[in-house]
Structure 1
């Protein structure tokens, strides 16, 4: 019978491999668009919803001043823009421009293409299980990380 440590080693190897392949794919697809990996992460976050500079900085674990400089560059490139927050006129929200949305859609399509063939090898039940287990693991890891950070 395998020990938890043995399972965890196998799990880490698998997750790291998948992560490397996805990062390589993002790099290969984003570079022709003139987008860095960090800019891609920002675009991906903003694709889900507009955010403040502070929220983006927190998600990428950088200082707000650093994020502000990144957003300045992305704004000059026409990928994003700052808009006044409709709920708080003193605050600015960062939103995707049409160009930013086109780029993130193109790079994301490529990521889906990379994963679609291996994912299609699973049965419907296996797809549901793997997604649910990964989402559960993500939540557990996040809760544990936050708990460790608070100590």
Structure 2
């Protein structure tokens, strides 16, 4: 069973990881990929989930409609996404990853993988794979649990016992 001390250590370690990622964000953007992290997040979402409504992308990114609209306009200008009308409702626009966007995303993924391979070349592949699985499982659970307890504006809907310290 997870102890309070271990849970507190997890919080600290995740904070440390978050700070490291934020502080190096500008360096990642300069890896000759020419895409910001937010752009990559949108492109990866489109790759994984297929065509999306603008409102769904905004919700997934936790941004307003105007913010996602500007971001999509920029990605569309660069040829990375395509927009079309929803056949079920012509008033609604659907956004999808273009072939150019898919190629660019694959190139970025390969570039990032090369950087990680160099940084962690001394790591055992089995252990690194297990770490990736654990981080993914952790992120999925945190996202799910927090989504259960906040409204669309990020405000708590209740103080669930599972999220309140004894």
Partner residue of 1:8?
Answer: 11
User: Partners in 1 of 2:66 and 2:10 — Cα distance?
Assistant: 41
Residue aligned with 2:149, SS: helix
More helix by share: 1
Q: Distance in 2 between matches of 1:66 and 1:83?
A: 19
How much does 1:41 deviate?
2.3
Note the residue ranges of structure 2 that are not aligned, 5 or more in a row.
Answer: 151-156, 159-166
Correspondence for 2:83: 82
Q: Give RMSD over aligned pairs.
A: 2.8
Deviation at 1:94, TM superposition (A): 0.7
Structure 1 residue 133 displacement after superposition: 1.4
The equivalent of 1:45 in structure 2 is 45
Report the Cα offset of residue 129 of structure 1.
2.3
Report the CA distance shift for 1:133/1:36 in structure 2 as closer, same or farther (over 3 A).
closer
Distance 1:7 1:55 in 2: 31
Deviation, 1:28, is 0.9
**1:64, 1:119 → 2: CA distance?**
39
* Superposition deviation, residue 11 in structure 1: 4.2
Residues 52-71 of structure 1 mapped to structure 2, 5 A cutoff: 52-71=53-72
Aligned counterparts of 1:65 and 1:21: Cα–Cα separation in 2? 27
5+ residue gaps, structure 1, are none
Q: CA deviation at 1:15?
A: 4.9
Is the 1:22–1:111 Cα contact (8 Å) retained in structure 2? no
* Partner Cα separation in structure 2 for residue 64 and residue 44 of structure 1: 19
For the pair 1:102 / 2:103, whether they are aligned, the reply is yes
SS of 1:84 mapped into structure 2? strand
Return the offset for 1:57.
0.3
TM-score, normalised via structure 2 length:
0.69
Tell me, in whole angstroms, the C-alpha distance in 2 between the residues paired with 1:146 and 1:96. 26
User: Per the alignment, in what secondary structure is the counterpart of residue 29 of structure 1?
Assistant: coil
Deviation sequence 1:68-124 (CA, Å, 0-9, x none): 2322232223221112345x3534321122332232222222111111234443334
